[in-house]
Amino acid sequence: DQQVKQNSPSLSVQEGRISILNCDYTNSMFDYFLWYKKYPAEGPTFLISISSIKDKNEDGRFTVFLNKSAKHLSLHIVPSQPGDSAVYFCAASIYGQNFVFGPGTRLSVLP
């Protein structure tokens, strides 16, 4: 039973446009959410996180939104660049323990 879901296995976006990656979770005890970016044959790289006491966190071109009532978070990348093409993983944890990862969404940014 997946506690963290990413229902879109892949997403294609034109360069310069907005990329929106979605993530849903089932465990209301999760209080810390993260997004990671992964290139093939490399480890995931931490992108951005958000605590459950916030509904938005922004870092440069990356913004994460959290809707606790819907148990949904999203990652917005604006503007999208070809170097953003990678697999993006959503993850959640309870008080910094037991990180649970979603299956990932492959983003392709087309020039």
Partner 1 sequence: DGGITQSPKYLFRKEGQNVTLSCEQNLNHDAMYWYRQDPGQGLRLIYYSQIVNDFQKGDIAEGYSVSREKKESFPLTVTSAQKNPTAFYLCASSQGARSNQPQHFGDGTRLSIL
Q: Where does this chain bind partner 1 (CB under 8 A)?
A: 9, 31-32, 34, 36, 41-46, 49, 51, 89, 91, 93, 95-99, 101-104
CA 54 to chain centre: 16
Closest separation in Å from C-beta 43 to partner 1 = 3
Nearer to partner 1, 57 or 74 (CB): 57
Nearer to partner 1, 21 or 102 (CB): 102
Closest separation in Å from C-beta 16 to partner 1 = 28
56: part of which helix (H) or strand (E)?
A: strand 56-59
Q: Could you tell me which of 54, 84, 72 has the C-alpha nearest to residue 7?
A: 72
Computed over its alpha carbons, how large is the radius of gyration of the chain?
13
Residue 30: CB atoms within 10 Å: 22
Closest separation in Å from C-beta 98 to partner 1 = 7
CA distance 42 to 22: 23
Closest separation in Å from C-beta 17 to partner 1 = 26
